[in-house]
Amino acid sequence: MTKAQARKTALDKVKKMSDAEREWASGAIADALSGIDAFRDSRRPFVFLSKDPEPDTEEIVGLLQMLERDVCVPRVEGGEMKAIRITPYTNFRKNKWGISEPVGRGVCPDPDVAIVPMVAFDGLKRLGRGGGYYDKYLAGRDIFKIGIAFDCQQVRGLPVEDFDVALDMIVTEKRVIDKDGQSENIFGEKP
């Protein structure tokens, strides 16, 4: 399977989900994240701002701001992604991909946990949209990497390359997958 085939397979599955299913699943992902020590204990979380059909991260950002964390979100400048600190008063604009980005300064030094998007996954292997922005940003950083996706985005036999950064954990609406390959159903049942 090629990366293009994996993206198409995963996105076709997500498109079959209703708006209500995606909304429920996004809430379940946010709830599951709140039970993860690395997320709960983070001081400077880096969270992507979602775009359809990704899991909605608005609730995640709101929760972190309520907990008074220094929330950072991505902004692309040239060919590089930066982490920008936001507040409830931050203004945003859409970039060329239609993704909200913060306006102004406020670079976030050394985030301690990153919530990253995925188009597809297999184990802890992540496949993004293909720009390599997250792989470049995360490479060589001491940061706990959590990918979030809908469970249907799992694709078996996902190809990886040397520059693809592996995740520490994946959270879906149904389970949490960790570095030991353990998959724990978030409803307390064996997967």
Contact 175, 151 (CB under 8 A): yes
| Domain-embedded: residue 126 | yes
Q: Measuring CA to CA, how many Å separate 166 from each of 9, 76, 128, 151?
A: 21, 21, 12, 18
**56-91 residue pLDDT tens:** 999 999 999 999 999 999 999 888 899 999 988 999
Residue 191 lies in a domain: no
What pLDDT score was predicted for residue 159?
Answer: 85
* DSSP, residue by residue, 78-96: TTEEEEEE--TT--EEE-T
What percent of the chain shows pLDDT beyond 90?
68
CB 147 within 8 A of CB 172: no
Q: Is residue 90 part of a domain?
A: yes
112-121 average pLDDT score: 95
Q: What CATH number does residue 31 fall under?
A: 3.40.50.10420
E strand residue ranges, 23-99: 45-47, 72-77, 80-85, 92-94
Domain count, the chain: 1
Residue 83 lies in a domain: yes
Mean pLDDT to the nearest integer, 145-169:
91
Mean local confidence (pLDDT), 164-174: 92
Examine residue 21 and state whether it is found in any structural domain, yes or no: yes
Q: Domain range spanning residue 119?
A: 3-185
Residue 190 lies in a domain: no
SS3 label, residue 186: coil
> Rounded to an integer, what distance in angstroms lies between the CA atom of residue 30 and that of residue 54?
13
Burial class (CB in 10 A: 0-12, 13-18, 19+), 144: buried
- Predicted confidence at residue 190, as pLDDT, reads 41
64 or 165: whose pLDDT is higher? 64
Lowest mean pLDDT among 24-28, 83-87, 102-106, 120-124: 102-106
33 in a structural domain: yes
Q: Please, which pLDDT band fits residue 191 given cuts at 50, 70 and 90? A: very low
For residues 173 and 183, the model is more confident at 173
Q: pTM of the prediction? A: 0.91
